[in-house]
Structure 1
C-alpha cells in the first residue's frame, strides 16, 4: 500500500520484487477489500468458456529485449498469475511456457496488443 495518508489502493508484488512499478492492483479500496473477506487474488479462479474453443499454450521463444519490463508487460496483457520472479527465471531457458490452455483467439488478440514485443512469443495448439 502506498505510504501516504489518503492512500486506499492495495498492491501486490512478487517475492523479491518490492518495486511498486511491478505491482498488481489487488483492490482500489483497501477498506472494501477487507470488508469483502480480504480475498487472495492468486487463489481466485477466472472461469473461461472453453466449449468448442480452441486452446493453446503461450510460449516465449526468443530472448527478452528489455528484461523484466518486457515480462511485466506480457504478464499484464495476458493476466498471467505466475510471479514475475518465476517468469524471469523461466525466461532464461527457452522455449518457456508462460501460460497453458488459453483460448487461441484471446491469445492472438493479446499478442497483437503487444505489438513488436509479441514477436518473441508463439502459440502452440493443444486442443
Structure 2
C-alpha cells in the first residue's frame, strides 16, 4: 500500500525514475480498487451497461489518470527510455506488447540521463 500512496504523492511528477516494484504495486492496487468500486457500482445500481462504467469507478479512473501516466513515464525513464514511448500502444496489438516488455525489464544500473537509480 505504501507504493500506491507514494505514486499519489508524486501526483504529476514526470521527472525522475520509478522502480519496477513501485510501478507494479501501483498497478496492482489500482486494479483491486477499480474492481471493488465496479462491484459497488453494479450492486448499487450506478453501473451503466452502455458505457461499461459506473459512477464510483468512473470518478476513480479520472482521479488516478494523471498519476498512472506519470508513474508509467517514470518507469520508462528507469529503463532509459523517453516518456514518449508511452504512445507506442497506439500501434494495434504489437504496441501494447512492446510497452509491457518495457515495464517488466530491469532498471538500468547506476545513473542515467533521467536521474539516479531508485534501487
Regarding TM over 0.5, the answer is no
> TM-score, normalised to structure 1's length?
0.23
Structure with the largest fraction of helix: 2
Structure with the largest fraction of strand: 1
> TM-score, normalised to structure 2's length?
0.24
